[in-house]
């Protein structure tokens, strides 16, 4: 159970008051009773001396030169009355040497006990006294021997009631209790006031400390006193301001560090000796998944064992991350590690595309070159034969044309990919341009029993590069013709206040859904055998996409396998 400082002070004051009361009570009340009893005994001793002298004078007269026990016994009643008068009315009992009661000056008063053990000491010639309770009242019994000739001839006992003395003692006790109760009340009131004045600034300090713990340093303590508590409040306010300043400096430095970390293109992760993250930027958060996090912890153990810089490439199902791990000394007992993460997923994808590109280019070059070399060898051996010569020339021409188209397409794709490539926009009638292209491609379409139909309303002219747009549309129509077996191709043109939309729709074989995202990659062909037979090299749609994007437009393909394909080009106006 928690006890507050205020209650502790109150309890301490009460305990001190109780102890002080007990000490005073023992020192005053109890001691006063003892002193009064001793004074009474001294008075009775003095009275006993006087009484002995008085008895001697009464017994030793001229007629009785010697006092005997018989004389004492005979005059016992007179002696009792006389001694009682001389002792201011004190009750006097006279006993024989055999402890028999001879006389009692207070015979009309309350009865006393019959047995007095202290008389055994008196018969020996000694004085004795004892305080005894009788019928609810304390009495002091003082007994002494009568020895006129050195021999005990009788015994005298003073019986003094201590009622008044005990009443005085009780009165003093009551006064002490009243004083004690009043003292407790006063001490409680004064203690409450004092503890309030003492604990109020302490409570203010506590509340301020709680606010500081919450991060609120604006709550200052205002204690007007100039004592130690006031000095403590001033020191506390100074400490609070200093802590606030230091935290502000730390936050500024932390903000700078976070800005540097967030501005880095690489991901940064710092671990302490317990593999707890002490710093991480957003780039690292985006790059790390469960697989990579598991690999990072394995790398951390290796780095701690080797105590050297380690570079590892981690490949997960989603990403390729190049991790550079460097030991970081945090303190003497624990070593941390800093990880620099580079997401090389795009780089590896680009490298793979480059590899595929070179493979495809090599393959595309190899086929016509093989044909050329083969027919050159044939011409060397059978060039005299006109039929062989003519056939060889035709195949050589076809292979040369194929090589030329491939080189031209590669040049176009290379130029379009360069940032310095610029289109030459002109005010162009798109309807007329598309109609002209459709007329030119109709001859090729007829060879495949395909009919090209158009829906080309007269629209306002737009700024485009007509040569490049023509190249893009020809590529789309060429693909539509290649991958359609009969049927028709519909070309339509629409225009809104923001863009012109050209749509080429065929009812050919369509495109599988899982290949739609690859259709614009260089050298990608759905049906490679059919494409080669028809003279395709897989660069048409890649070139078309680049041309459209150079115009600030977009191209989309919607296709259902076995039903046809719809290609849409949106150009801004």
Q: pLDDT tens for the chain, 573 residues: list them.
A: 566 666 777 778 778 878 877 877 777 766 777 777 778 778 877 887 777 777 777 776 645 556 677 888 888 888 888 888 888 788 888 888 888 888 888 765 666 666 677 777 777 888 888 887 777 778 888 888 888 777 888 888 888 888 877 787 788 778 878 888 888 888 778 877 777 777 777 777 777 777 777 777 776 767 666 677 777 777 877 887 888 788 888 888 878 777 777 777 778 888 877 777 777 777 777 777 777 777 778 888 888 877 788 888 777 767 778 888 888 766 555 578 888 888 777 777 776 766 766 666 665 666 667 767 776 777 777 767 777 677 777 767 766 766 666 666 666 656 555 444 567 888 999 999 999 888 888 888 888 888 999 998 988 888 998 888 888 888 888 888 888 877 889 999 998 888 999 999 998 888 888 777 778 776 666 655 444 444 455 667 887 888 888 888 999 999 888 888 999 999 998
* CA 485/CA 363 separation, integer angstroms: 27
What is the pLDDT, as a whole number, of residue 287?
74
Domain check: are 24 and 157 in the same one? yes
The values of phi and psi at residue 416, to 5°, are -65, -30
Smallest Cα–Cα separation from 106: which of 84, 122, 132? 84
| Type and span of the H or E element at 451 | strand 450-455
Question: How many whole angstroms separate alpha carbon 158 and alpha carbon 144?
Answer: 9
Helix (H, G, I), strand (E, B) or coil at 91: strand
Contacts of 17 (CB under 8 A, 6+ apart): 180, 183, 184, 187
Residue 542: the pLDDT is: 81
Identify whether residues 312 and 366 lie together within a single domain.
no
Same-domain status, 564 and 533 = yes
Same domain, 374 and 295: no
b or e along 335-356 (b: 16 or more beta carbons within 10 Å of the residue's beta carbon)? bbbbbbbbbbeeeeeeeeeeee
Count of residues in the chain = 573
176 in any annotated domain? no
CATH number of domain containing 382: 1.10.287.130
Query: In this structure, are 533 and 395 located in the same domain?
Result: no
- Of 294, 310, 343, which residue is a domain's last? 343
Contact 208, 243 (CB under 8 A): no
Query: 268 and 257, same structural domain?
Result: no
Beta pairing, strands 487-495 & 450-455: parallel
User: In 3D, which of 471, 479, 472 has the Cα closest to residue 448?
Assistant: 479
- Among 210, 236, 263, identify where a domain stops: 263
Would you call 510 helix, strand, or coil by DSSP? coil
Q: What angle do CA 537, 541, 544 make, to 5 degrees?
A: 125
Contact 140, 37 (CB under 8 A): yes
The distance in angstroms from the start CA to the end CA of the chain is: 81
Q: Would you say residue 198 lies in a domain?
A: no
Q: Is residue 313 part of a domain?
A: yes
Do 411 and 430 belong to one domain?
Answer: no
Task: Tell me, yes or no, whether 331 lies in a domain.
Answer: yes
Rounded to whole angstroms, what are the CA distances from 337 to 255, 256, 279, 289, 397?
21, 21, 11, 19, 65
Q: Determine how β-strand 277-280 pairs with β-strand 128-134.
A: unpaired
- In this structure, are 294 and 321 located in the same domain? yes
Q: 538-552: buried (b, 16+ CB within 10 Å) or exposed (e) per residue? A: bbbbbbbbbbbebbe
This prediction's pTM: 0.39
Q: Which domain holds residue 387?
A: 348-415
What is residue 534's three-state secondary structure? coil
Domain check: are 240 and 269 in the same one?
no
Which runs of E-coded beta strand occur in 127-233?
128-134, 137-146, 154-161
176 contacts: CB under 8 Å, gap ≥ 6: 21, 24, 25, 28, 29
The answer to whether residues 20 and 162 belong to one domain is yes
Whether 181 is in a domain gets the answer no
Q: Give the pLDDT of residue 144.
A: 87
Residue 311 CB burial class (10 angstroms; 0-12, 13-18, ≥19)? exposed
The total domain count for the chain is 5
List C-alpha distances in Å: 34 to 29, 31, 37, 166, 170. 9, 5, 5, 11, 14
Q: Please check whether residues 472 and 360 belong to one and the same domain.
A: no
**Do the domain assignments include residue 191?**
no
What per-residue confidence (pLDDT) applies to 146? 85
Whether 403 and 547 map to the same domain: the answer is: no
In this structure, are strands 487-495 and 462-464 parallel, antiparallel, or unpaired? unpaired
Last residue of one domain, picked from the residues 323, 343, 363: 343
């Amino acid at each position: 159970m928690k006890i507050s400082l205020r209650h502790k002070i109150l309890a301490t004051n009460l305990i001190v008051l109780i102890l002080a009361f007990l000490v005073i009570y023992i020192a005053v009340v109890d001691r006063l009773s003892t002193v009064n009893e001793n004074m009474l005994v001294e008075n009775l001793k003095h009275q006993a001396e006087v009484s002995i002298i008085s008895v001697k004078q009464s017994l030793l007269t001229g007629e009785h030169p010697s006092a005997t026990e018989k004389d004492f016994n005979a005059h016992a009643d007179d002696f009792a009355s006389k001694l009682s008068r001389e002792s201011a009315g004190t009750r006097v009992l006279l006993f024989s040497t055999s402890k028999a009661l001879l006389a009692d000056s207070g015979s009309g008063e309350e009865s006393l006990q019959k047995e007095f053990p202290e008389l055994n000491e008196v018969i020996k010639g000694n004085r004795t006294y004892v305080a005894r309770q009788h019928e609810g009242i304390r009495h002091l019994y003082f007994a002494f021997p009568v020895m006129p000739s050195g021999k005990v001839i009788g015994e005298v006992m003073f019986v003094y009631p201590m009622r008044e003395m005990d009443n005085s003692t009780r009165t003093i006790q009551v006064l002490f209790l009243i004083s004690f109760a009043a003292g407790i009340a006063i001490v409680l009131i004064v203690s409450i006031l004092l503890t309030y004045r003492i604990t109020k600034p302490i409570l203010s300090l506590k509340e301020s400390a709680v606010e500081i713990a919450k991060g609120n340093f604006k709550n200052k303590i205002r204690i007007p006193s100039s004592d130690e508590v006031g000095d403590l409040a001033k020191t506390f306010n100074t400490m609070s301001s200093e802590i606030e300043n230091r935290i502000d400096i730390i936050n500024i430095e932390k903000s700078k560090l976070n800005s540097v970390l967030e501005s880095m293109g690489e991901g940064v992760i710092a671990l302490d000796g317990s593999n707890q993250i002490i710093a991480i930027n957003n780039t690292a958060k985006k790059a790390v998944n469960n697989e990579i996090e598991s690999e990072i912890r394995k790398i951390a153990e290796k780095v701690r064992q080797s105590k050297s810089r380690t570079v590892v490439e981690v490949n997960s199902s989603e990403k390729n991350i190049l991790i550079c791990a460097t030991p970081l000394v945090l303190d003497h007992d624990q070593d941390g590690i800093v990880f620099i993460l580079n997401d090389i997923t795009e780089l590896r994808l680009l490298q793979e595309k480059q590899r595929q590109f070179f493979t495809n280019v090599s393959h595309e070059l190899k086929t016509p070159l093989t044909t050329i070399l083969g027919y050159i060898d044939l011409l060397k051996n059978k060039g005299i034969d006109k039929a062989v010569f003519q056939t060889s020339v035709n195949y050589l021409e076809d292979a040369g044309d194929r090589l030329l188209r491939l080189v031209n397409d590669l040049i176009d794709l290379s130029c379009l990919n360069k940032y310095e490539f610029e289109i030459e926009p002109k005010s162009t009638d798109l309807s007329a341009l598309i109609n002209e292209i459709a007329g030119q491609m109709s001859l090729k379409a007829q060879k495949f029993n395909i009919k090209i139909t158009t829906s080309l309303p007269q629209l306002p002219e737009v700024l485009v590069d007509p040569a490049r747009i023509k190249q893009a549309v020809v590529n789309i129509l060429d693909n539509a013709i290649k991958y359609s077996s009969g049927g028709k191709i519909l070309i339509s043109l629409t225009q809104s206040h923001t863009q012109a939309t050209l749509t080429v729709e065929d009812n050919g074989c369509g495109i599988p859904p899982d290949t739609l995202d690859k259709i614009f990659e260089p050298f990608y062909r759905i049906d490679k055998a059919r494409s080669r037979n028809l003279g395709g090299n897989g660069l048409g749609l890649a070139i078309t996409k680049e041309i459209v994007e150079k115009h600030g437009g977009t191209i989309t393909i919607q296709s259902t396998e076995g039903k046809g394909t719809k290609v849409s080009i949106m150009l801004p106006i």
